[in-house]
Structures are given as C-alpha cells and as structure tokens.
Structure 1
C-alpha cells in the first residue's frame, strides 16, 4: 500500500493534471492545469475568473482530477475545492510558486484566482505492474 509520502512524491513529480468540474446544468467540464501539492496532499492551481472552472467550483466545490499518465501510472483524485483568502491564500501561493516560479508573474493578471483542493478519495494505478490502490480520507 502506498503511504502518504509516496503519494506526495508521485503528485509532486507531475506538473500537470486534468481537472473536471460540473457546469451550470450539471455537465462535466475538464481543463488541463498546472498543479502544486502540499504535504497534506492538497492540490493548488491557479486559473482566471473568466474560465469555466472558476464559476463552476464557486457554485459546486466538488472536483476530480487525473494526475500522471506516463508509463501507465496515474492517480485519480477527488476532493473539494475552495478559493483561499487571507493567510490561507498566502500559504497556497507559497506552495504553488514553489512548483511554478513563473506563477509570481501571473499573480498580477487581472482576475487571477487560486484554488486549494482537499482530497477525499484517491486511486493510484500502475497498469504496467498490475497494481491498483484506493486511498480514502
């Protein structure tokens, strides 16, 4: 069974994820985003308020993601997204800028926003090795 450090290292070694949120009529909508991860396995990403995912996640914080696809290894991730503020926003930006130093320039964009996602369910799969593990929170 994967431990928290192994999951953290797996996510940290990947820079991109496909995230899915629910649109206004409940339809799934997906987007590729650059991610960072905290030691608590929280994912942080930035977006602009004119994106589809921004109003989707403000209305319904449920989110899913697929992280990694190289060498048939992947992590399915489900959680709850929130737009941090105050000290929580400062912490989220520190995590994000650690993975994406160019994000410091993007924070000046009009309408930039950050989301922090707390995991609720994870499934790691290594199809080449025939290994699938579920992790619940």
Structure 2
C-alpha cells in the first residue's frame, strides 16, 4: 500500500508539472503519435486536450477510443538516465460536449491561457481521456503501475 501511494504521488507531481505529452492512437495506417498540450482533472482520473476535428489523431480516436498519453520530465541530458521519469496514462478518449464543455475549457485554459483562440475555435474538439491506469517509469528501468479502477474500488 505504501508503494502504491508513492506511485500515485509521483504520477500526480510529474503530470501536473508538465505542459505537453505525446498522444498515441491507432488507425487504419497503424500507430500514430502526436504532441498535445493537456490538462488534468482535479482527481487525476481524466486528461484533456484540444485538437482540430480534421487531424489524423481525431480520426483515429473516433475509430478506436483506446489511447495512451506519455508525459516525461527529461531534459535531454545524460543525467536523464538516472533522474528522469515518465508516466503513461492509458485509457479511452471521448469528445466533450455541452454542458460539460465550458467547465472543461475553463479548466484547460487555466493551465494554457495562451491557447484561448485555439480552444474556442469551432473547428476544434475537446477530448477527454478517461484514465484506466498509470504506468510510472523512474531511473530508466523501475516500472510501477496503478489502476484507477482499483482506487475506485477501495473508496467504496
């Protein structure tokens, strides 16, 4: 239980400290990765990003909602092999619609105020990733995981 709490705290700190992540989707042409600016819900159960509806990532999500978002704190230096950490959030993506859209947009813009025009563009969609599990990799080889479902089960 202590290790799980440490993992949860490390995931929480790392994700909240970063602006960008690499979104992985799958489509007809195979795997696809793209850089996205994201925000996270207060309870760490959902991640949000904005994308034009004409992108390959949006088409892939529409066809197959299974996604992964990789977030890391590396700085592209040799010390990363001993100090950097990465979190992969695995889950399902869904498009946010009114009435929830406004609160999600406000939450997103609190982290990314410079993306206001993009976030309000009628050609863009807000997407939420409902996280099923987080996988934490520290010091290049220590891997731990926790499932959101397990956390939900322990609170009921």
TM-score range, shorter chain: 0.7 to 0.9
In the other structure, the counterpart of 2:97 is 85
- Do structure 1's residue 118 and structure 2's residue 122 form an aligned pair? no
Identify the match of residue 61 of structure 1 among 51, 61, 65: 65
- Name stretches of at least 5 consecutive residues in structure 1 with no aligned partner: none
Q: Per-residue displacement from partner, 1:54-107 (whole Å, max 9, x unpaired)?
A: 111112111011101413210011011110111221222122111100222213
The alpha carbon displacement at 1:121 in A equals 1.5
Distance 1:59 1:88 in 2: 23
Q: Per residue, is there more helix in 1 or in 2?
A: 2
2:139 matched to 1:127?
A: yes
Residues 49 and 126 of structure 2 are in contact (CA less than 8 Å); yes or no, is this contact kept in structure 1?
A: yes
Normalised TM-score (structure 2)? 0.78
Contact 1:44 1:95 in 2 (8 A): no
Contact 2:23 2:35 in 1 (8 A): yes
Q: Which has the larger radius of gyration?
A: 2
TM-score between both structures, scaled by the size of structure 1: 0.88
Given that 1:19 and 1:33 are in contact with CA atoms closer than 8 Å, whether structure 2 keeps it comes out as yes
Unaligned runs of 5+ in 2: 75-79, 149-156
Match of 1:103 in 2: 115
